[in-house]
Structure 1
């Protein structure tokens, strides 16, 4: 006997294909949504971790900026202290120069010559005073020139004046103070 199937078998097959197609589409869509969701969560987590790293680096940079500011402050204080030390060394050297100057002037001033005024401007010294006679002034200049403390004595002027009813020679002399020792060394650069 021959069986004839009058049922719409092609339509049933198409319907089954459609159902499978819909199921595959739904499954694919679900997997795609899960993948997109997982990727979004992973990216969100990665962004959060990177933001934490950035915050940590920013804190470290801020701390280093503060340290650099303190280092700059310390460098300024160091340079100020070195400048003060240099000035102090200079003052100490000048103090000994003043003592040496007065000592040498006391030794080199001959009898009959009296110093009235001494002005110092750096290394240049201006002396003025009185001499009992004009002949004693060149002797004083010669003694200044032969001294280890003074250079280039120059007679500025000599004139005869009356002081306490005595005729004396008033004179003015310019000399240069010789430097003793080396000036203090100034630091250069950063010792590291």
Structure 2
């Protein structure tokens, strides 16, 4: 056995080991590339799916935004219509306001008070008159304060009568007609 040369066999063994190593290395590299490719395809599919969902949500959001703007527009129209209806109701109820004011003034003026001037400026009513006594004038003031239609009485002045008619005192006052909302609430109460 001393004459057996093992060098070529070892060389062949090394060559085969190198080939196996290169084959295994190439296999591992291919497996890594394949797994990376598959992972990339998987995440690309997930990304595409998410993009589809995002696009769908964006289209739905834009459709809902249009509906919201339509609803806001309808709310504006509704508010305008309600405002018009309130104005029409106010005009309808204030149509007879002059008559109601005159009727209420006749109710609040007691005997012994004579009105010489009654003037209306918007919601303000200015009254000039003569009174037989201050008690009758205070009765009138109380009746104005308890009126459903009149409010905010301001007594301007009371002047004792001059020499020729000492019995009558001149007075001036002003009061206001209550706003429509307050009149309607008071009238609707039982």
Give the equivalent residue in structure 1 for 2:185. Answer: 182
TM-score of the superposed pair, with normalisation by structure 2? 0.62
Instruction: Say if 2:158 and 2:172, in contact at 8 Å, map to a contact too.
Output: yes
Give the equivalent residue in structure 1 for 2:166. Answer: none
Structure 1 residue 67: Cα displacement: 2.0
Instruction: Say if 2:125 and 2:176, in contact at 8 Å, map to a contact too.
Output: yes
Q: Distance in 2 between matches of 1:127 and 1:105?
A: 10
Instruction: Say if 2:154 and 2:174, in contact at 8 Å, map to a contact too.
Output: yes
Other structure's SS at 1:28 match: helix
Structure 1 residues 98 and 28 mapped into 2: Cα distance closer, same or farther (>3 Å)? same
Give the equivalent residue in structure 2 for 1:73. Answer: 73
Structure 1 residue 62: Cα displacement: 1.4
Q: Distance in 2 between matches of 1:30 and 1:155?
A: 108
Between structures 1 and 2, the one with greater helix share: 2
Structure 1 residues 120 and 156 mapped into 2: Cα distance closer, same or farther (>3 Å)? farther
Give the equivalent residue in structure 2 for 1:118. Answer: 119
Structure 1 residue 182: Cα displacement: 1.0
Give the equivalent residue in structure 2 for 1:45. Answer: 45
Instruction: Say if 2:131 and 2:171, in contact at 8 Å, map to a contact too.
Output: no
Report whether the alignment pairs 1:9 with 2:2: no
Other structure's SS at 2:25 match: helix
Corresponding residue pairs, total? 164
Give the equivalent residue in structure 2 for 1:163. Answer: none
Structure 1 residues 95 and 11 mapped into 2: Cα distance closer, same or farther (>3 Å)? same
* CA RMSD between the two structures: 4.1
Instruction: Say if 1:154 and 1:174, in contact at 8 Å, map to a contact too.
Output: yes
Structure 1 residue 54: Cα displacement: 0.6
Give the equivalent residue in structure 1 for 2:131. Answer: 138
Report whether the alignment pairs 1:98 with 2:101: no
Structure 1 residue 13: Cα displacement: 0.5
Structure 1 residues 102 and 6 mapped into 2: Cα distance closer, same or farther (>3 Å)? closer
Structure 1 residue 119: Cα displacement: 1.7
Structure 2: stretches of 5+ with no match in the other structure = 163-169
Instruction: Say if 2:118 and 2:125, in contact at 8 Å, map to a contact too.
Output: no
